[in-house]
Structure 1
């Protein structure tokens, strides 16, 4: 018992010193950040990047970084975009942030060969200035179910390819009003379930509203949703889908001054001196890179399957532990990646699960499976809750690492103690006291000895005195045979 108390005190001291060290580093880093912020609050253009599928990690990066850039003096934000699409909820969160912004957003599809497909088209329509590099494309904004693969199924509510081609040719030959009415009549008669039609119509109304807000081609926007239409950069400029075609960033900046935009519902002009401002790149940090990896659709789908099958295997084989632990962690990560849980809830849930698993390791013989899973869940949950850009909400990476290291060491110590006890030779229950030292407690009326705090009846062939040291030579029921030590 005393050994365990000493070990517990030692771990507490280690946690205290780790926390003190982390606090000192946090104070120093906060001072450096304040000095850097004082130097960085100069007018500039913030450059953000969307490269790959749009998910919760993209939303987190875009909103946090743009808020930070605005606080540091950004007067305009350029989003370099190359995306095949993404989740509807994440896209709508980004669009709401853009529409509520007090400074202009310029979405720039770049480099050459990039695309703003599906969700990227919505963000392009929502931006105050929509720009593209030559040899880039946009469109194909038809919403599809999760898991739909190109080439394997048509988008929801989509007619066969021959019917689509025929309707496209007919719409090109008709007058504008007649063509629009004809398209609406055809859309109403298209095959598809009620849910598919509901999703399509909701997306059409959404993108038409964005187009009308910025004075862009709403009819083509509807066609991009209903017929998965696409355009090149030059075609998009000709159809009034985008505002600018620029060969590079410098060319883009030269075309922005005095351009009229709609900002917070009012018409304004971009400042004339915006092209002279320096461009500061705000690249994704390691945390966002990690979250982007988790929220990749393929990774999210695999995590979801692992989580489901892990819980199924644990249900069929109670006590296996490893499938259940892996299943719970993967399922929470999948819920975050698919935006079933917000990042704050997912991180908190992982921390709670990690703490429970570490505590359960000391009561359930899992040979480290629960403890290791708990440390992993604790670290991932802590990383997800880090928000270094919000004052008062900073979580020290050193502190997270220290707690994880101390928890891991405590777990290893516990596993070593358990393993050491298992390696001890097995002793029969009726011989457990043999060889142990004892002290004579009473001599008359009968011989009593104290063994490890317990009083036992004893026999001895030699005379003994009170307080004399003896050793147990044999055990017969509740009677010990002792000899002088």
Structure 2
């Protein structure tokens, strides 16, 4: 009954949290069309972080909202070290087919349009950068030369595809295709001044206000062929940030958090297996594990690494039930560290697990396994205190005369007993010395 009540309370709490999240999401103010009917606005969105699937969903929502508002332009303030190639393709496709001018502004000062950010920036109708920012290093990571001299065929194909795609975007936007291709093939990077000089971007701007001032009066061509003149001077600004759901999904797309969720989830399941009936560790562990696996899936983690981590926890669990004297636990630690290092090996920039987190987690699990092995060894050396063997050495009371057989009362139960040292009168204290079947052998205490 207690477990049932606890489960009900947990379900009620979870429902309350989900309801609160929904209310927060519904309560996020969205600019209305009426508020900007008089003068077309400029929709502004900012993104700082690795390019992951939720990034594409967010930027698509921003551009669609700008289209629905009839905005004069949509400005994306971007700073990213790079990200997933497939997600980058989604974002670029959305920008190229937008029905509203899209301006990508690499900012603030010191910002970076690295790797995936390079493709996104040059795909914009107008590309701009803040002083001190940089762009480039767009070579697909993890598919480079395997021996420093030659590439395997699949890697070469992807590189060729990325280079051709970059040239195609650059030619469409009237940019320097050769410089863009060098960023892909040779991982070239350019400062904001170099990018402007090489015609990789259209302008440099100190801040958003300066950007809008320089944009005013420019003419861009949309995918439909329509030519649109930007009227950004004095236009109302509509800021569109991530809603609570998008922020949550972005947080789950953090490689470190995904790794922690998966390890905590498996640890919770281990605790539940070691101590059946606790319920909470099992439920919390299952939820954390599923969230972690979801996050790793969206981040294109290497599943060989995931399987090695799962194997590690299997070995940790087996250590509690198999007397391997630490061999299984040591193998689990090795498997865990190897799998952790392989999860995002050779992955895109901005997506990877902090090495210090891997080391800390591995040390914690190594310590837990050491404690587990110590407890198992002590348990094996400890005298048996349960079951029939646990009765040996216990004190009892004769309930009838033992001549030499009779009844004794031990641990709340009556047993048939045989005296080893002559008759014992009822009421005398006895000590159990052995057990033969369901009969005890006793002597006087």
The normalised TM-score by structure 2 is 0.56
Give 3-state SS (helix, strand or coil) of 1:269's partner.
Answer: strand
Q: Within 1, Cα distance between the matches of 2:76 and 2:113?
A: 12
1:6-26 Cα offsets, whole Å, 9 max, x none, are xxx645543432332232233
**Which of 107, 114, 124 matches 1:127?**
124
CA contact (8 A) 1:137 1:233 kept: yes
* 1:432 aligns to 2:391 (yes or no): yes
| Aligned residue pairs, count | 352
Instruction: Kindly report the root-mean-square deviation, in angstroms, between the aligned alpha carbons of the 2 structures.
Output: 5.8
1:60-459 aligned within 5 A: 60-66=53-59, 69=62, 77-86=74-83, 88-99=85-96, 104-143=101-140, 145=142, 198-226=157-185, 231-234=190-193, 236-237=195-196, 239-256=198-215, 259-261=218-220, 263=222, 266-267=225-226, 269=228, 272=231, 275-282=235-242, 285=247, 288=250, 291-292=253-254, 294=256, 339-340=300-301, 363=321, 422=379, 426=383, 432-435=391-394, 447=406, 456-459=415-418
Give 3-state SS (helix, strand or coil) of 1:40's partner.
Answer: coil
* 1:42 aligns to 2:32 (yes or no): yes
Q: Within 2, Cα distance between the matches of 1:339 and 1:250?
A: 38
Give 3-state SS (helix, strand or coil) of 1:125's partner.
Answer: helix
Give 3-state SS (helix, strand or coil) of 1:79's partner.
Answer: strand
Q: Within 2, Cα distance between the matches of 1:432 and 1:232?
A: 82
CA distance 1:268–1:193, change in 2 (3 Å): same
CA shift, 1:121, in A, is 1.9
* 1:33 aligns to 2:25 (yes or no): yes
CA distance 1:71–1:202, change in 2 (3 Å): closer
1:415-469 Cα offsets, whole Å, 9 max, x none, are 8xx79x94996269977333255896999996356766987431364565xxxx9
Q: Within 1, Cα distance between the matches of 2:305 and 2:167?
A: 34
Q: Within 2, Cα distance between the matches of 1:481 and 1:268?
A: 105
Q: Within 2, Cα distance between the matches of 1:107 and 1:85?
A: 15
CA shift, 1:252, in A, is 1.6
CA distance 1:146–1:229, change in 2 (3 Å): closer
The normalised TM-score by structure 1 is 0.52
Flag structure 1 segments of 5+ consecutive residues without an equivalent. 1-8, 158-191, 304-327, 377-410
Q: Within 1, Cα distance between the matches of 2:229 and 2:311?
A: 50
1:242-268 Cα offsets, whole Å, 9 max, x none, are 233322111222344565445555545
CA shift, 1:202, in A, is 2.0
Q: Within 1, Cα distance between the matches of 2:240 and 2:415?
A: 81
* 1:16 aligns to 2:13 (yes or no): no
CA distance 1:275–1:115, change in 2 (3 Å): same
1:22-63 Cα offsets, whole Å, 9 max, x none, are 3223324423432x23x3343672422235xx4xxx313423
CA distance 1:279–1:477, change in 2 (3 Å): closer
Q: Within 2, Cα distance between the matches of 1:436 and 1:108?
A: 85
CA contact (8 A) 1:132 1:233 kept: yes
CA distance 1:441–1:262, change in 2 (3 Å): farther
CA contact (8 A) 1:131 1:244 kept: yes
1:150-201 Cα offsets, whole Å, 9 max, x none, are xxx8xx88xxxxxxxxxxxxxxxxxxxxxxxxxxxxxxxxxx7766654443
CA shift, 1:206, in A, is 0.7
